[in-house]
Amino acid sequence: MLISTADAILLDLPLVEPFAAAHGTTRSRTVVIIRLEGEDGPVGWGECSALPAATYTAESAAGSYQLLTDHLLPTIVGQPLTVATLDPLRRQHADAPMAMAGIEMALIDAQLKTEHRSLAQWLGATSSTVPAGVSLGLAPVDQVATQARALVAEGYRRLKIKIEPGHDRAVVDAVRTDPTIRDLVAATEDRRPDRDPTPNFELHLDGNGAYGADDVDLLVSLTSSGSTAGADVLEQPLAPAEVNAATQLVQRLADRWSNDSGGLGPVPVVADEAVATMGDVERLADRRAITGVSIKPARVGGLLAARAMHDRCRELGLRATAGGMLETGLGRRALASLAALPGFDLTGDLSPAGRWLATDPWPDLTMTAGQILVPDGPGVAPEPDLDLLDHHTVRRERLSS
Ligand code: OSB
Ligand code: MG
């Protein structure tokens, strides 16, 4: 597509409630949207999901907006561009995966709308629904328990809860011993009979790298084993640099599992912050420091890189989960489409954006009976509500050829 117009739009969307994690608290969702228009008509929308502050990775919404308007969009405007010809620019800006993911998404959206194809179909999705999963921020234990009850009542059967040192065991115990949650889960028909000892319910813990080498014993003790229900997945518990400790953790969980008689595999240790590139996956898999990856299109540079990582995880026998970035409905639709690939064998961050966004220019994901419907319309998402978009626009810059 010959790019005739490129817009960067800095949106500020109010959150339903603040979202806290070990890396900081988010109060409103500042997010960058990219609009690309081709000479011959197609329009595509992409989301750069960098967070308001550079707390999770080095990218931030304001920084990405600057890079896009100063450099990336001026470079592509007036040029013929496809997802394939984007590679030189990607290599040049390997340190800006979220900005590049936004450009890529807009290109894919325009291309697929022209072809009347859905993103899920284009990516090779094999299912029309994916299990819903929801994340809970750091909060006092009683608040976590109250939220967890409400979310299980809404139909979620996978909760991902943020933990940090000193705020972990009490969280696991509160959720695992809650009678309301137990009754709600027991009333659900069997969807995951493989997941003894607590079929139909998965507890993921996300440490955002807040733990260190001395915490391996503690982390092991937080996980499910035999008839004891704990965490079913550990996401990035250890700091990314703690590779030796991660290898120990993986080994300890494997030993723990082989000492059990249950049918479960070892509790997966899933990398988030530690994996930016395929090289990171190879290196951590070689070191046996991970057994899975949270694949976030934004963090790895886009949907194509995410799909390639998914494929490689399958070859390597690694588990995979589709990771979220508190996106708008646009980014969330992309995530749900990706999550329908067959190698995503752990429930992902698949909740509608309305869980955190009080308003959203994009139509939200649909959730029924604990499942998210994989979008099947043309492109990544339907057109946004342009009035809402304007209303929440903080800055906008248009480049034309
Ligand atoms: O660590 O997984 C994380 C959001 C932004 C940045 C990092 C993370 C998260 C989440 C939210 O956990 C998950 C979601 O989008 O549902
Ligand atoms: Mg995470």
For residue 196, pLDDT beyond 70:
no
Averaged pLDDT for residues 124-136? 96
Question: In which band, very low, low, confident or very high, does the pLDDT at 42 lie, cut at 50, 70 and 90?
Answer: confident
* Closest C-alpha residue for ligand 1 atom 6: 325
Ligand with the closest atom to the CA of 365 = 1
The edge-to-edge listing of strands for the beta sheet with 202-206 is 134-136, 158-162, 202-206, 233-235, 269-271, 292-295, 319-322
Bridge partners (DSSP) of residue 293 are 271, 320
User: What six digits make up the tokens of 343?
Assistant: 């190698």
Question: In which band, very low, low, confident or very high, does the pLDDT at 195 lie, cut at 50, 70 and 90?
Answer: very low
For residue 187, pLDDT beyond 90:
no
Please state, in angstroms and rounded to a whole number, the distance separating the CA atoms of residues 149 and 271: 27
For residue 22, pLDDT beyond 80:
no
Q: For residue 270, what are the CA distances in angstroms to 93, 185, 250, 338?
A: 26, 25, 10, 18
For residue 186, pLDDT beyond 90:
no
- Average pLDDT taken over every residue of the chain: 94
* Closest C-alpha residue for ligand 1 atom 1: 208
- Over residues 159-175, the pLDDT tens digits come to 999 999 999 999 999 99
On the CB side of 206, how many CA atoms lie within 13 Å of its CA? 27
Averaged pLDDT for residues 339-367? 97
Confirm if 318 and 292 have CB atoms less than 8 A apart. Answer: yes
User: What six digits make up the tokens of 308?
Assistant: 């390639």
- 345 CA from centroid of ligand 2 (Å): 17
Confirm if 145 and 354 have CB atoms less than 8 A apart. Answer: no
Q: Which residue has tokens 């502050």?
A: 53
- 13 CA from centroid of ligand 2 (Å): 22
* Closest C-alpha residue for ligand 1 atom 8: 325
H or E stretch covering 158: strand 158-162
Please state, in angstroms and rounded to a whole number, the distance separating the CA atoms of residues 195 and 159: 14
The edge-to-edge listing of strands for the beta sheet with 24-38 is 43-48, 24-38, 3-21, 393-400
For residue 319, pLDDT beyond 50:
yes
For residue 190, pLDDT beyond 90:
no
Predicted pLDDT of residue 371: 95
Pairing of strands 233-235, 202-206: parallel
Averaged pLDDT for residues 41-69? 95
Residue among 318, 223, 288 nearest 262 (CA):
223
Ligand with the closest atom to the CA of 237 = 2
- 319 CA from centroid of ligand 1 (Å): 18
Please state, in angstroms and rounded to a whole number, the distance separating the CA atoms of residues 36 and 2: 10
Pairing of strands 367-368, 371-373: antiparallel
For residue 142, pLDDT beyond 60:
yes
Ligand with the closest atom to the CA of 298 = 1
For residue 26, pLDDT beyond 90:
no
Residue among 250, 296, 303, 247 nearest 275 (CA):
296
- Using DSSP's 3-state secondary structure scheme, residue 201 falls into coil
Ligand with the closest atom to the CA of 323 = 1
For residue 383, pLDDT beyond 80:
yes
Predicted pLDDT of residue 282: 98
- Over residues 262-297, the pLDDT tens digits come to 657 899 999 999 999 999 999 999 999 999 999 999
Choice among 185-189, 259-263, 266-270, 329-333 with the minimum mean pLDDT: 259-263
How much is the pTM? 0.96
Please state, in angstroms and rounded to a whole number, the distance separating the CA atoms of residues 15 and 33: 17
Buried b (16+ CB within 10 A) or exposed e, 73-85: bebbbbeebebee
For residue 396, pLDDT beyond 70:
yes
Please state, in angstroms and rounded to a whole number, the distance separating the CA atoms of residues 391 and 222: 45
Confirm if 288 and 311 have CB atoms less than 8 A apart. Answer: no
72 secondary structure, DSSP code: I
* Closest C-alpha residue for ligand 1 atom 14: 324
- List CB-based neighbours of ion ligand 2 within 5 Å: 206, 235, 272
Predicted pLDDT of residue 261: 62
Kindly state the percentage of the chain with pLDDT values over 70: 95
Ligand 1 lining (C-beta closer than 6 Å): 51, 56, 135, 206, 208, 272, 323-326, 349, 351
- Over residues 78-91, the pLDDT tens digits come to 999 999 899 999 99
Q: Which residue has tokens 């409400």?
A: 150
Atom of ligand 1 nearest to the CA of 326: 15
Q: For residue 251, what are the CA distances in angstroms to 92, 145, 246, 287, 315?
A: 38, 31, 9, 11, 21
Counting runs of H as helices and runs of E as strands, what totals does the chain give? Answer: 15, 14
For residue 7, pLDDT beyond 60:
yes
Buried b (16+ CB within 10 A) or exposed e, 257-268: beebeeeeebbb
For residue 21, pLDDT beyond 80:
no
Residue among 130, 136, 164, 139 nearest 148 (CA):
136
Residue among 354, 350, 352, 284 nearest 319 (CA):
284
- 258 CA from centroid of ligand 1 (Å): 31
Pairing of strands 24-38, 3-21: antiparallel
Q: Where are the beta strands (DSSP E) in 249-289?
A: 269-271
Predicted pLDDT of residue 199: 64
* Amino acid letter for position 390: D
Predicted pLDDT of residue 189: 64
